Amino acid sequence: MTRHQVDWSSFALLLIDVQRDFWPEPVARAFPDLPHRVSRLLTLCRRSGISVIHLRAGFAADQHDWMAKYRLSGSVPCIRGTDGAGVLPCAKSLPSEPVLEKQSFDGFQTGELLPLLRQQGKRFLLTAGIETSVCVLFTTATAAQLGFLTAVVEDCCADLPEKHHHTLRGYPFIFECVTVDRITDNHARWTAMLDQLAVGEIPAK
């Protein structure tokens, strides 16, 4: 590490559900810059050394892995093999980046995400994706309850506008908000917060 580089090894980005079924025309019209901003976010993370983990919805056509509410309605987004389950071009993963499939609003319900983060020593999570008020919120809230510090990259999220803005402003006790352009500016402050939390922690046996 050179003197101009900073250590992002404790940080990870969770990019959530940037898929066609969650990108209907009203949302795409309300957030026309989202694809460009997600591309910029991924470029920033990859260049800085922030780990990227992709969370994507994926359901079986035979309904066996659908949540109860969806089984009753007979409809679910992101059925495997359909165009709707496909990822937007801006959010394609690299071969080295984990892609975890989920059948819930909360990415931590997969059972794979938490062990992966613990194994990699992650302590601060950036979250972004679609929809702000559902899977981004639920995943971020669980992360906070599991002991991670969290920040939602607000200009890399999308939803129906009223739900989007309400979510971002309604939960300051769970997460803070940041934009792509301000991520690097916050490194020192976020690292100081992690250092403060580490004081007095009981070492793992």
Q: Which of 52, 70, 55, 62 is nearest to 111 (CA)?
A: 55
pLDDT at 4: 58
Give 34's Cβ-side CA count (13 Å radius): 30
Predicted local distance difference test score (pLDDT) of residue 90: 98
pLDDT number for residue 200: 67
Give the Cα separation of 152 and 149 in Å (integer).
10
CATH of 11-198, one of 3.90.550.10, 3.40.50.1100, 3.40.50.850, 3.40.30.10: 3.40.50.850
Global pTM value: 0.94
Please report the pLDDT score of residue 1 as a whole number. Answer: 44
Query: What are the extents of the domains in the chain?
Result: 11-198
Q: What is the mean pLDDT of each run of 10 residues along the chain (205 residues)?
A: 74 98 97 98 98 98 96 97 98 98 97 97 98 98 98 98 98 98 98 91 56
